[in-house]
Every structure is written in structure tokens, then in C-alpha cells.
Amino acid sequence: MMEIRIETKFFKFEINLSKSQILGIVGPSGIGKTTTLRAIAGLEEPKGKIVVDGEVWLDKNLSLAPKKRSIGFVFQDFALFPNMSVLENVAYASSKEHALEILKAFNIEHLKDKRPNKLSGGERQRVAIARAIARAPKVLLMDEPFSALDRKTKHFIQDKILEFSKMYKFYTIFVAHDLKDVVRLSDLVFSVEDQKLLSKEEFEEYSLM
Amino acid sequence: MIDYSPFLISFEVAISTTLVLGVVGIFISYFLAFSKSVWADIVEPFIMSPLVLPPTVLGFYIMYIFGLQSPLGRFLNNIGIHLLFNFNGLLLGSIIYSLPFAVSPVVSGFRSVPKSIIEASYTLGKSKFYTLLKVIIPNSKYSIISALVLVFSHTIGEFGVVLMVGGDIPGKTRTASIAIFDYVQELNYKQANITALILFAIAMSTLIFLQILKRLQER
């Protein structure tokens, strides 16, 4: 179980997630969606409480450093290490053998020796997702993870995320603008604007309104 | 006949200073670039002060602080550490005088590393030290090389501080730049010219190297 009760400058975020559950966060720009992900990662210090599988990451007296939280973070600008090849990026927090398996799974094994500056936006995004998953985190956080992908690749990557989330049993929280992505991937949706937590079905109806 | 000893001393001081500042400069730069502490704002002007202070002012204070007049100087003398008018003095003076050249380019380099890749390393479970070694330093390598080249060439040509702290002892603390001054005093313009030309060539090579480095960085 993942329990999050945090208060950012813009809104209160309270939610409980079960293993392998995927939460999409939607809302207008500048409302603090990225800040929420950063707070869960420990890159910001909000007030509140975060407990993941019984391990306290944040409470009144404690705030674990990001390196001590088992997370995979997909940054909006991908944040790939320019001095490393794709394989070295993905193996940064795992082994080379495991990184190769992940690259194969994401269909980007052929890029393994390339540097990030030689990749297209979509390729970089796939590498960033592969790197975050490669360390088998407890929580996968993704900030606009599909923005640079075409429809077909997007669906392929979303299916892979679903597959790995079941395999590694990690909690996934992501931010997206495209409501179709949110509907396709999420089990639950948090609408920041309305401060509402919705099931996938409720959100489908809600987004049609 | 050229007297090589001033060049050997200059090179020895320059290489030692570059090695010391190559390590120390990285950690000071990291502190100045990323610390949110008020200490960073207090320490930075002191580190950069050799850029604006006359070398004789700096030399005088180093002499005063490490000389027998001060408690620190007397303490060091009592435990057998002598820092004035010997090679150690030259090294100490050069390290302090060249510190801004070791720090300033590296601080700029560190600050230009995208914040997100540093944070990505933390979120991938790595410590600040590991991130410095694997992410920040490799992505600031041109700034670090520039700093080392600047420190080396600046130390080779240093005059005021090394004269005051090291003295002008032939074969021991007389560096190439001090030797030029001595040759001119002796009206030995030929030797002064040869020594000056060699220092000029070193300085120009450094600047050309930095120019090439700048081009490589822009690619």
C-alpha cells in the first residue's frame, strides 16, 4: 500500500494506492502537477506524509533523501546523461545485462551505443522511461511521459509500462495532458482542478462532459 | 649559456599547484556552485580576492600569517613546518594566488550542468559524491581543463607573491619570472630576453590551447 497525504502550495493531495495501481494526474498548466511528483520523489519538501509498503518516506520528523526512496522518475526534459551512451544511461542504476533486457523490451536495443544528442525526441523519451523502470523501483513517477511519441509507439510503451508494473509490482503516478493517455493507462485519476479522485470509468464520463 | 634552474623551479611549482588545485578546486567549486548556505556567499569573495588584490598585498599577508610574528607561524615553526623562503612557501603562495583561476571556470561549468540530470542521478539512488564524479564532472570537463591550464600558465608567470613568500634564492626559490627581473637588474638583457621569450611562448601556447578547447566545446 502506498499512502500519500501531501500539501503543496496549490492543493492537497490525499490518496492510497494498491500494488501495481496506476494513477494519472490531470489539470491545467502551472497548477502544481510536476511539484506533486517532485514532492513524492523527495526533490521538494512539502508538509505531509508518504508511506510506501510500511516504509515512511515523509512525515513530521522525517524526509528521506531522494536516493533513499525507491523511485524511477521520468523527467519532462528526459534528463538523460549526455556523457553516457543509451546503455550506460539505462544501466546507471542497474546492471548492463538487465539494462540490455529492458532496452530489448522497449524495442530500442539498436540505440544502445548512441549518445542522447544523437537521438530523436521520441527515442529519448523511450530511453528515459526504460531507465526509470530498469532499477525496478517501488514507485514510478512520470512527468508528461508520452508527449514526444507517435500514437503507435505511445500504445506500445503504455503496454510495456502496464506489463512491467504488474511484473515488478510498482506503483505508478504520472502527469499527462492528453486525456486519452490518462484513460488508456490509469486505474485512478486525480483531477487537480476539482480536487477529485475518480475511477477510470468515472473519468471517462467526466472527460466527455 | 641558459640557466635552466629557474625554469625547473617554475615548472615544479606550476605542476604541484595544478595538481593540488585540481583536487581542492573541484570541492570548493562544488560548494560555491550548489550550496545554499550563507557561508558560500561569505567565502566566495575571499577566494576571488587574488583577482583584484595587488600580489604584494597578498604576499605580505601570507608572510605575516605564516611568519614568526603570528601565533600560527610560531606554532607551525615549533612543529617543524616552515612555509616561508623555501619551496613550500612558493607552493603555498601559488596555491592561494591561483585559487580563483581554479575555481571560477569550474563554478560556471558546474552551474551550467542541467539541474534535471543531477536530480535524475539522485532519483536513481546515487549519492551527491557519486553524482559529482559520474555526472557533474564529466559534463563540466571543458571548464575543468580550462581551469587547470589557466592555473598552470598563471603559476608559471607569477612574480609578486612568489618573490615575497619564497624570496629570490638561486636554485631554490628563484623562478623564471623572478630571474627575468634579476637579469634586467644586472643589465643582462640577452638572458632576460631568452627567458622572457620562453615564458611568452608558454603563455601563447596556453591561450591557443584554450581557444581550441572553446571550439571543441561549442561543437
Write the pLDDT tens digit of every residue in B149-180.
999 999 998 999 999 999 899 999 999 999 99
CA distance B160 to B93: 10
Chain-chain contact of B123 with A80 (C-beta, under 8 angstroms): no
CA distance A84 to A82: 6
| B74 touches B68 (CB < 8 A) | yes
CA distance B130 to B118: 10
What pLDDT does residue A198 have?
A: 87
Chain-chain contact of A65 with B122 (C-beta, under 8 angstroms): yes
- Cβ count near B35 (within 10 Å): 13
From B120, B127, B138, residue closest to A73, measured CB to CB: B120
From A41, A67, A70, residue closest to B127, measured CB to CB: A67
> Using a CB-CB distance cutoff of 8 angstroms, which residues of chain A are in contact with residue B135?
81, 83
Domains of chain B: 5-218 (1.10.3720.10)
* Averaged pLDDT of chain A: 92
> Using a CB-CB distance cutoff of 8 angstroms, which residues of chain B are in contact with residue A43?
119, 122-123
Task: Check CB contact of B126 with chain A, cutoff 8 Å.
Answer: yes
Over the stretch A31-82, which tens digit does the pLDDT of each residue have?
889 999 999 999 998 889 999 999 999 999 999 999 999 999 999 999 999 9
CA distance A88 to A84: 6
CA distance B122 to B13: 39
Chain-chain contact of B125 with A93 (C-beta, under 8 angstroms): yes
* Residue B142 cell numbers, joined: 571543458
From B119, B124, B134, residue closest to A135, measured CB to CB: B124
Distances in Å between the Cα of A45 and the Cα atoms of A17, A38, B85 are 21, 9, 53
Chain-chain contact of A71 with B117 (C-beta, under 8 angstroms): no
Residue B25 has pLDDT above 70, yes or no: yes
ipTM: 0.93
pTM for the model: 0.89
Task: Check CB contact of B119 with chain A, cutoff 8 Å.
Answer: yes
CA distance A136 to A72: 8
CA distance B126 to B130: 6
Distance from the Cα of B146 to chain A's closest Cα (Å) equals 18
* All structural domains of chain A with their residue ranges: 82-128
Give percent above pLDDT 90 in chain A: 74
What pLDDT does residue A201 have?
A: 84
Cite the DSSP H helix spans in chain B: 5-34, 38-48, 55-66, 71-78, 87-111, 115-123, 128-131, 141-156, 160-166, 176-185, 189-218
Residue A209 has pLDDT above 70, yes or no: no
From B117, B123, B125, residue closest to A81, measured CB to CB: B117
* Residue B207 cell numbers, joined: 591561450
Interface residues of A toward B, Cβ cutoff 8 Å, are: 41-43, 65-73, 75, 77, 79-83, 92-93, 131, 135
